[in-house]
Amino acid sequence: MKAVGLIVEYNPFHNGHAYHLKASKEAAEADVVIAVMSGNFLQRGEPALVSKWYRTKMALLNGADIVFELPYRFATQKAETFANGAVSILDAALCETLCFGSESGDISAFFQTIDYLEQQQSSFDENIKRFIGTGVSYPKALALSFQQLSDSENFLDLAKPNNILGFQYIKALKQQKSKVKPITVPRKNADYHDEHFSSETIASATSIRKAIFSGEDGNTEIDQYVPESTKQLLKKYLHHYHVFHQWENYWGYLQFRLIHSSPEELREIYEVEEGLEYRLLAAALESNNFLEFMQKIKTKRYTWTRLQRLCVHILTNTKKAEMAGNLEKASYLRLLGMTTRGKSYLNKIKKDISLPLISKLSSFKGKEILLDVKAARVYSLGVPNHLKNEMIKQEFQQPPIFIK
C-alpha cells in the first residue's frame, strides 16, 4: 500500500482541506492518506477551535486514513522546527510522498530556491542578520534577504506563508536524508490569512473562525465552506462543551501566571528573551483582555504569531530546559485515529516502524510525552468547570478513533 503524507492543523477542516486531501491522493497515486496534525495548541500560537479528538474525526470522515499527533515541542514552534517534527513522523510512518499546498504550486521552484540558497548561504545569513538589526521580524528578514540576493522569477516568493512552510519541509527532508518524495499542489482561492470570504465554496480557516466567533449561534455563516461532517461536529462540540476555544478563554490564566511571576522566573520560559519579560509584566498589569495585551506587547521585531507562541509557553509553564535537546526529530508516533484502510496499512508496516507507536497514553511511560500531557491539561481550562476533568481523563483513556 502506498501512503501520501499531509502536515495539517484542520482548525477546523474545511472545503479547501478536502480539495487538498483529494488532490494529494491523486497526485501521489496513493492508497492511504496519513495526516500529521498539531495537537491542542497550534503553530500560530493559538488554542485549537475544538479538541484534537474532534479534529481527528473531521479528518477521518473526509478522506484521511491515519492521524498522528504532532507533539507540542514541534507544533508550537517556528516553521523550521515545526517542519522537522512533522517530516520525521511521516518518514517513520514509511510514507512514500509528502504533499503540501503552496502559493507556488511548482515543486521545481522549491528545489531551485534551496539549491541557490545553499550556494549563497553565507551572504544570505549576513543579510538576515543585517535586516534583523534594523528591527524587523525574522520572517520579514528572511524574505528581504532572499529578495536582495535574487529577483529571478524561477525562485519562490518567501514572503508567502505556505511557500515558507513548503521550503522548510523540503529542507527537513534533505537534512534528515529522508526517502519521502515532496510534491505540491496550488492553494485554491483563499489565502492563508484571509479574514473575509472571497469565494462561494473555499475560505481560509482564519475567516471561518472569525465567522464562528462573530455569529450568534456559532457556525451558521460557514455552512457553504465546510463539509457537512465538520458542521455537525462543530455543533456537537458546542452543545457538549458550551464553548469554542480562543485566546480570550485563557486570558485570566495567562494574566495570573504573568503577574505572579518574577522577571527571573519568566526568563526561564521558552522563547522569553531580550528583556521581553519586563514588557510582558507591564502589559499584563494594564490589560483587560488578551487582544489588548497583545497590542501592548507587539513590536516590529516580533511577529504576532511569535508572541502568541511565547504566550502559549507561559500558559503551559514550558521552560527552556524542557525544550532543550532534540528539536530535530520526533521520538514517538501518537496515533489519534484511523480508518479500516489505515488500520490495514499500520498492520503491514508495524514491524518496520522505528519509533514507539502509542495508541493509548496510559500505556506509555516515556518522559518525552509529558509536554503533550501538560498542554492537554491546560487546554481543558478553556471548558466549563464541570467538564474539565472529563477532558483531562480523555487524554489518558481515549483509544484511537476508528472509522469503518
Angle (nearest 5°) at CA 221 between 215 and 225: 135
Cell of 271: 522563547
> What dihedral angle (degrees, nearest 10) is formed by the CA atoms of 378, 382, 387, 391?
-40
Residue of 173, 5, 168 whose CA lies nearest to 96:
5
pLDDT tier for residue 199 given thresholds of 50, 70 and 90: low
pTM over 0.85: yes
pLDDT tier for residue 121 given thresholds of 50, 70 and 90: confident
Q: Mean pLDDT in the chain? A: 91
- The Cβ of residue 121 has, within 10 Å, a number of other Cβ atoms equal to 10
Furthest-apart CA atoms within the chain: distance in Å: 58
**65-69, 160-164, 293-297: the lowest-pLDDT one:** 160-164
Matching residue, cell 545569513:
125
Handedness of CA 331, 336, 342, 343 (dihedral sign): positive
pLDDT tier for residue 198 given thresholds of 50, 70 and 90: low
What pLDDT does 145 receive? 81
Q: Are 222 and 211 in contact (CB under 8 A)?
A: yes
What pLDDT does 147 receive? 76
C-alpha span between 34 and 42 (Å, rounded): 19
Domain boundaries, the chain: 3-103+185-242+332-368+392-403, 247-323
Q: Which residues are annotated as a binding site for ATP?
A: 7-20, 101, 162, 187
What pLDDT does 151 receive? 63
27 half-sphere exposure, CB direction, 13 A CA radius: 23
Q: Write out the DSSP string of 30-82.
A: -SEEEEEEE-SB-TTS-B-SS-HHHHHHHHHTTT-SEEEEEPHHHHTS-HHHH
Q: Which residues are annotated as a binding site?
A: 7-20, 101, 162, 187
What pLDDT does 38 receive? 98
Burial (CB count <10 Å: 0-12, 13-18, 19+), residue 1: middle
Q: How far is CA 46 from the centre of its chain?
A: 9
CATH architecture of the domain with residue range 3-103+185-242+332-368+392-403 = 3-Layer(aba) Sandwich (3.40)
Residue of 362, 357, 365 whose CA lies nearest to 392:
362
